[in-house]
């Protein structure tokens, strides 16, 4: 969440940075407007409370003086009772205003970094670089390739669970496992991440810490009758490993990689990618998470992006790196770079990894702080990115390595993970 002190000390700059997301974010009916009004109300209540405290002190002193002289203090005692009543009423109002303020604060998106390009849609994202040569011949869609090879079963997935679920079989199932192992080995052994294995279920406090709640409740799968949710990404449990802790600055940055299944209701994606396995309710992903200092955040983000790019280059999959504009960037992010892999059947690049810096936004929400020697604790900066989304990587391999006889070559770097298999055929 945003810095509460900055709301007062740097109001204009903060409003401008958040307002770049769109006028509706700060318009009169927004959570931002409600929050600023509640902040004003809290200051008024504080002033009134301080006035009552002064009155109480004055009246209390007067009562003491009268009693010491044997004089009647009934009038002052009655006044003291009224002051106490008003104080209790103000305290109750202050508690209510604080609760409303805290709730509104959780609805406010992160302030954007000044380098985020302005835009009105994803079409305004800025391409930074490309790697590899896109394949431009006629290639079937991955769902046709997978069905013909008998390795993707969409009917079975629909029978077992409903739409946007798929059964992955045979060589494709083994490739999913191979991709997971390859990515984790690369990040742990070569990029220096500590691998962790975390729960695929998180409680509401954990979901709130990374910004999934309350904003995206409709996209989450909630366990009936429980304060628990299926995680939409490993970012949630891995970042919250340090929930409500104070870290030593000397121990930063902390870098973790993790494989998890991920679950998303995709409530806002009706009609998009209904065929195939690009947008599923359940999918697999390897995630990269950094816990670092604000000063290191942007340089660490460049490094994290490079680690995700290294996966695509090792697999020899053409991709491009783009910077997201103001209209396309996520709620919690201050700066995001997407990696988009080439899909020849669609003749375009599609997102396969999103790498973001959140500044201290998640650190404040999750209570993750660090302390320099002799200094006061302050919120950490956090970053994360997919390294990579495994299902979409499988899609890219099926299409980019497809051969005219209907078979699919296995990328050289994956062959040791697949028992030496070098081609998937009927």
Residue stretches of the annotated binding site for L-serine: 233-235, 264, 287, 384, 386
Whether 351 sits among the annotated catalytic residues: the reply is yes
Residue 183 burial class via C-beta count within 10 angstroms: exposed 0-12, middle 13-18, buried 19 and up: buried
Choice among 21, 255, 365, 392 that is catalytic = 392
Query: What is the 3 state secondary structure string of the chain?
Result: CCCHHHHHHCHHHHHHHHHCCCHHHCCCCCHHHHHHHHHHHHHHHHHHHHHHHHHHHHHHHHHHHHHHCCCCCHHHHHHHHHHHHHHHHHHHHHHHHHHHHHHHHCCCCCCCCCCCCCCCCHHHCEEEEEECCCCCCCCCCHHHHHHHHCCEEHHHHHHHCCCCCCEECHHHHHHHHHHHHHHHHHHHHHCCCEECCCCCEEEHHHHHHCCCCCCCHHHCEECCCCCEEECCCCHHHHHHHHCCEEEEHHHCCEEEEEEEEEECCCCCCCCCCCCCCCCCCEEEEEEEEEEECCCCHHHHHHHHHHHHHHHHHHCCCCEEEEECCCCCCCCCCCEEEEEEEEECCCCEEEEEEEEEECCCHHHHHHCEEEECCCCCCEECEEEEEEEEEHHHHHHHHHHHCECCCCCEECCHHHHHHHCCCCEECC
Choice among 332, 354, 356, 357 that is catalytic = 354
In 3D, which of 110, 111, 108 has the Cα closest to residue 31?
Answer: 108
Whether 122 sits among the annotated catalytic residues: the reply is no
Choice among 135, 264, 364, 365 that is catalytic = 264
Whether 275 sits among the annotated catalytic residues: the reply is no
Contact 203, 227 (CB under 8 A): yes
> Which residues are annotated as part of the binding site?
233-235, 264-266, 287, 351-354, 384, 386
> Which residues are annotated as part of the binding site for ATP?
264-266, 351-354
Q: Phi and psi of 24, rounded to 5°?
A: -65, -20
Whether 316 sits among the annotated catalytic residues: the reply is no
Contact 361, 1 (CB under 8 A): yes
Whether 279 sits among the annotated catalytic residues: the reply is yes
Choice among 98, 296, 351, 407 that is catalytic = 351
Choice among 56, 279, 350, 371 that is catalytic = 279
Catalytic center residues: 264, 279, 351, 354, 392
């Amino acid at each position: 969440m945003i810095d509460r002190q900055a709301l007062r000390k740097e109001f204009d700059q903060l409003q401008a940075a958040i307002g770049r997301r769109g006028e509706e974010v700060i318009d009169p009916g927004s959570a931002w407007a409600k929050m600023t009004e509640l902040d004003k109300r809290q200051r008024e209540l504080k002033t009134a409370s301080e006035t009552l405290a002064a009155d109480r002190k004055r009246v209390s002193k007067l009562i003491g003086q009268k009693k010491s002289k044997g004089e009647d203090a009934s009038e002052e005692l009655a006044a003291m009772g009224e002051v106490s009543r008003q104080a209790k009423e103000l305290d109750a109002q202050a508690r209510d205003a604080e609760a409303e303020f805290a709730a509104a604060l959780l609805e406010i998106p992160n302030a954007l970094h000044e380098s985020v390009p302005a835009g009105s849609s994803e079409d305004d994202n800025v391409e930074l670089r490309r790697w590899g040569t896109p394949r431009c011949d006629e290639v079937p869609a991955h769902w046709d390739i997978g069905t013909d090879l008998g390795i993707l079963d969409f009917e079975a997935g629909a029978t077992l669970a409903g739409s946007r679920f798929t059964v992955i079989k045979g060589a494709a199932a083994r490739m999913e496992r191979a991709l997971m192992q390859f990515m984790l080995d690369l990040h742990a052994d070569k990029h220096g991440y500590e691998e962790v294995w975390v729960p695929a279920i998180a409680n509401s406090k954990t979901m709130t810490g990374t910004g999934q709640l309350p904003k995206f409740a409709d996209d989450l799968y909630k366990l009936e009758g429980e304060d628990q949710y299926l995680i939409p990404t490993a970012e949630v449990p891995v970042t919250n490993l340090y929930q409500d802790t104070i870290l030593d600055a000397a121990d930063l940055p902390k870098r973790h990689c993790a494989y998890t299944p991920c679950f998303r209701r995709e409530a806002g994606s009706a009609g998009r990618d209904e065929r195939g396995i690009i947008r599923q309710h359940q999918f697999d992903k390897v995630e990269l998470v950094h816990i670092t200092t604000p000063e290191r955040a942007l340089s660490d983000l460049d490094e994290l992006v490079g680690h995700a790019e290294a996966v695509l280059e090792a697999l020899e999959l053409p991709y491009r790196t783009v910077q997201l504009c103001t209209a396309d960037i996520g709620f919690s992010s201050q700066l995001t770079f997407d990696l988009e892999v080439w899909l020849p059947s669609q003749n375009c690049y599609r997102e396969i990894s999103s790498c973001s810096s959140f500044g201290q936004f998640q650190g404040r929400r999750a209570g993750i702080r660090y302390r320099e020697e002799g200094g006061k604790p302050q919120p950490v900066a956090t970053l994360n990115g997919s390294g990579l989304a495994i299902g979409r990587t499988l899609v890219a391999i099926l299409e980019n390595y497809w051969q005219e006889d209907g078979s699919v070559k296995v990328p050289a770097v994956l062959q040791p993970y697949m028992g030496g298999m070098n081609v998937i055929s009927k």
